[in-house]
Chains A and B, each alone.
Chain A
């Protein structure tokens, strides 16, 4: 009985391959975009975890030198002798420019347990100490093999673009004998040891941060990707819902017959669920495979973005992780279950003696309409409440979800109203029939049109955000990167000589003085600035008190970036403690786009009084003759040319990072729009098969098949235009939420919102083009429907 029942159910798909294709393709597309994004996220997180696990980043307290300084090996020895259980770390770059690898040297005898490949299962200690190899993953190993004078061993757990070795090997390879960069503090320390200030007063202790710094910093980036993946998944599930709804509707008669012939309802439901499970798994496998391609295509750009924005090293190649496969298949099954629940419940509740005639799938049902309207208004109302009174990133995404789903549910009602209005204005008989017929088609097309609405709104919203960001960021770079040249010295001594050298040759020398410290209880950077014409003329402030620059220069006030101001709940006029017992009023807030952490700026003299040991090793130079100054620095001073960067280079680099950041978003945008186009195409194609009984009377009364085909095309355009008109305000609302709510919560800064009517016009043309393309084939099929098929509608005996 089971196989006979399955055979009957399956025969429906065999006879309706297009429906089967729609269902599987919908599941595959939904799974592909979701699992592609998840793969990218998983790969990035695995890289952060590998870095944290192998280097101890974030897991342990660390002792750090002043900015630009090293830790002398003698300090390390003194600490060990005083009872401090610390492990030394030296790090630097090896390899050619553009393909450099971060080489990290550790001491396996003193590093906290399990740190790195030694002691963690990769190699035993005596072997490590005798061979002293350099560990790296396969990709990195291939890049440094032969370039360094040490054996290279492959260790897959090492973070990408990173190599780990014994500290003495690293010091030799980096030319850093006797120098250390930081000390890792073991969690359990002996009692009664001498305080740090007594043995190494120059070192500062940074507390463990319970996980990798970079992992936390990039959370919002990954959250944005996840949100996009979810949106694409939702669009795909719209397709699946449509396909399953139609298939179940068409099978109502079959279900009744099967039950009448003796198939128990419970068995029938189980078979239908099993059938869906198999289809979901097939769609899932296809989707995960497709997702792998999406992820492999996006990952290099994501890796470049994360490196540029956060300094995070992410492998540029994708690994096939079982958890990712399983989650991809699970999301496909869950998606199918969500899409099929309504149809399954409807079949389960259908009385055996109910009418076997398929309910008009393409006719509106009053109760459903009322429920839909209620849910839509409820969600839009909730969105308004969240926008007015909510706070936090989760609220931001909740607001987005309410707004998008509420608007999508409202779309059929809005379109129905518009079509009704058009119908009442129509004069000709063909026009009246056209509008009435379009209204009748609306329920059947509404899921696809909702998908189009969401895809277009996402496009409008995200492109508005990106373009607003681009405009703001470009202006910001022009302001901020005022110095014609940027130079860096290798040591504090060289920096002093460098400053003496450039002072008479530049109109202004701007030292980069900074320390990492907590401000208002948040991790931040404190800068010392030489306030002069550059700052006064170029820096635009979001908000400021009178005589802001004079007060900063006099050491009477502090300037903070927007991130710090928003996160700490401070603004102009509030006080900020820049050191114990040292409160300064905030005189201004500056925009700092792209920077993940807080910053405060004080005058150079005040900074020097607070941090007398910190010396600038990097400088911005103002000059009218950048080429001449560059030549003098390399020829006369002997500064390596790679220590000099000009303004154009930095701007180009910053903009390149920016563009790559949004390459990912743009790609997801295009994919989402394509999925929506596909949804319309499949809906029109499926409906075309059910249209014959509706079109036959119009044909019999004098409309030619060609004319009917043309009207089908016009119908697609009309619906696409109406949807586009609805998508524009929704997209702008989405952009506002992204810029004013999500961005502020995720990154700590707010962007001004600009509108780009030309871009929206182009997008509308794309949408119309997609609708026309989607309608072309079904319309052609309708126009070529054989008269015999149309006549069958009128036959008594069919």
Chain B
């Protein structure tokens, strides 16, 4: 099993004391799986994604990625997992504004020491980014920027891709186009995909769906 989550709990401290966000999540994802996480706002979808990606730490429970429990890792080790095994696609794209498109796509692969120029070029062409490689993020539309973010995640050849509302900032037509391309490329690489979305249509395109309600899987 590529990803195994056991009894995962997380709460945040607010003015009214501890607010539980995840109240014991159990789930598994195999290599090549595509999984949609759905639920209302505040149900804990993004928090779960952040914990799986090692961006945040859980209160208790275990997250085993490729057999290793990232809940037991320190910050540096979690960073190493993100470099080597996880690709993240954010809703806000989060490209590096001062790097051109080619450098942005290559960036995570270079960090992980797995950069393959030919592979990156194929990805760029497949996503229609070929003519834009020397441009900077601010010169691209939102759809193009999200394609760059997808290419960046895939170029690092991760085993698991985490996508947090990847088309939330795009119009419907562009969102559908970007989503089709992402699913096709993910399928080609054999990576697993876990995607947070509000869209039933996008969720329907995934192999499985999990619905969160008040911090628990419904």
Residues of A in contact with B (beta carbons under 8 Å apart) = 1, 4-5, 7-8, 11-12, 14-16, 253-254, 256-266, 352-353, 356, 797-798
Bound together, the chains give a CA A356 to CA B84 distance in angstroms of 23
Structural contact, B76 and A253, CB atoms closer than 8 A: no
Residues of chain B in range 106-145 having any CB-CB distance to chain A below 8 Å: 107-108, 110-113, 136, 138, 141-142
Contact bitstring B40-72, A, C-beta under 8 A = 1, else 0: 000000000010010110000000000000000
Q: Is B20 an interface position by the 8 A CB rule?
A: no
**Contacts A11-B99, A15-B136, A353-B55 given; does A257 touch B79 at CB 8 Å:** no
Nearest 6 pairs of A and B residues by beta carbon: A262-B83, A11-B98, A262-B82, A15-B98, A4-B110, A797-B142
Structural contact, B94 and A257, CB atoms closer than 8 A: yes
Structural contact, A264 and B142, CB atoms closer than 8 A: no
- CB contact between B76 and one of A11, A258, A264 (< 8 Å): that residue: A264
Tell me how far the C-beta of B126 lies from the nearest C-beta in chain A, rounded to whole angstroms: 21
Q: Is B210 an interface position by the 8 A CB rule?
A: no
Q: What residue in chain A is nearest B100 (Cβ atoms)?
A: A11
Bound together, the chains give a CA A257 to CA B148 distance in angstroms of 14
Give the interface SS of chain A, mostly helix, strand, loop or mixed. Answer: helix
Structural contact, A254 and B97, CB atoms closer than 8 A: yes
Bound together, the chains give a CA A4 to CA B105 distance in angstroms of 12
- CB contact between A7 and one of B103, B113, B142 (< 8 Å): that residue: B103
**Contacts A16-B98, A260-B55, A797-B141 given; does A8 touch B107 at CB 8 Å:** yes
Instruction: Write out the residue numbers on chain B whose beta carbons fall within 8 Å of the beta carbon of A263.
Output: 79, 83, 111
Q: Is B169 an interface position by the 8 A CB rule?
A: yes
Tell me how far the C-beta of B44 lies from the nearest C-beta in chain A, rounded to whole angstroms: 14
Point out which of B79, B84, B107 has the most chain A C-beta atoms below 10 A from its C-beta.
B79
Q: What residue in chain B is nearest A1 (Cβ atoms)?
A: B111
Structural contact, A261 and B88, CB atoms closer than 8 A: yes
**Contacts A257-B94, A257-B95 given; does A4 touch B79 at CB 8 Å:** no
**Contacts A261-B82, A263-B111 given; does A8 touch B169 at CB 8 Å:** no
Q: For the complex, count residues of B whose C-beta is within 8 A of A.
A: 37
Tell me how far the C-beta of A261 lies from the nearest C-beta in chain B, rounded to whole angstroms: 5
Structural contact, A352 and B56, CB atoms closer than 8 A: yes
Structural contact, B169 and A254, CB atoms closer than 8 A: no
Structural contact, B107 and A4, CB atoms closer than 8 A: yes
Q: Is B92 an interface position by the 8 A CB rule?
A: yes
A-B contact pairs, 8 of them (CB 8 A): A5-B111, A7-B103, A11-B98, A257-B96, A261-B108, A262-B112, A264-B79, A797-B170
Instruction: Write out the residue numbers on chain A whose beta carbons fall within 8 Å of the beta carbon of B55.
Output: 260, 352-353
Q: Is B28 an interface position by the 8 A CB rule?
A: no
Bound together, the chains give a CA A39 to CA B171 distance in angstroms of 64
Q: What residue in chain A is nearest B112 (Cβ atoms)?
A: A262
Bound together, the chains give a CA A264 to CA B74 distance in angstroms of 10
Instruction: Write out the residue numbers on chain A whose beta carbons fall within 8 Å of the beta carbon of B96.
Output: 8, 11, 254, 257-258
Bound together, the chains give a CA A617 to CA B99 distance in angstroms of 82
Q: Is B187 an interface position by the 8 A CB rule?
A: no
Bound together, the chains give a CA A798 to CA B169 distance in angstroms of 10
- CB contact between B98 and one of A5, A12, A264 (< 8 Å): that residue: A12
Structural contact, A1 and B113, CB atoms closer than 8 A: yes
**Contacts A1-B83, A266-B76 given; does A261 touch B98 at CB 8 Å:** no
Instruction: Write out the residue numbers on chain B whose beta carbons fall within 8 Å of the beta carbon of A259.
Output: 79
Contact bitstring B143-177, A, C-beta under 8 A = 1, else 0: 00000000010000000000000000111000000
- CB contact between A264 and one of B53, B75, B92, B169 (< 8 Å): that residue: B75
Q: Is B80 an interface position by the 8 A CB rule?
A: yes
Instruction: Write out the residue numbers on chain A whose beta carbons fall within 8 Å of the beta carbon of B171.
Output: 797
Bound together, the chains give a CA A263 to CA B55 distance in angstroms of 12
Bound together, the chains give a CA A619 to CA B204 distance in angstroms of 112
Q: What residue in chain A is nearest B82 (Cβ atoms)?
A: A262
Instruction: Write out the residue numbers on chain B whose beta carbons fall within 8 Å of the beta carbon of A262.
Output: 79-84, 86, 108, 111-112
Instruction: Write out the residue numbers on chain A whose beta carbons fall within 8 Å of the beta carbon of B75.
Output: 264-266
Instruction: Write out the residue numbers on chain B whose beta carbons fall within 8 Å of the beta carbon of A256.
Output: 94
Bound together, the chains give a CA A378 to CA B55 distance in angstroms of 42
Bound together, the chains give a CA A256 to CA B94 distance in angstroms of 9
Structural contact, B56 and A353, CB atoms closer than 8 A: yes
Instruction: Write out the residue numbers on chain B whose beta carbons fall within 8 Å of the beta carbon of A260.
Output: 53, 55, 82, 88, 90, 94
Tell me how far the C-beta of A276 lies from the nearest C-beta in chain B, rounded to whole angstroms: 17
Instruction: Write out the residue numbers on chain B whose beta carbons fall within 8 Å of the beta carbon of A261.
Output: 82-83, 88, 107-108, 111, 152
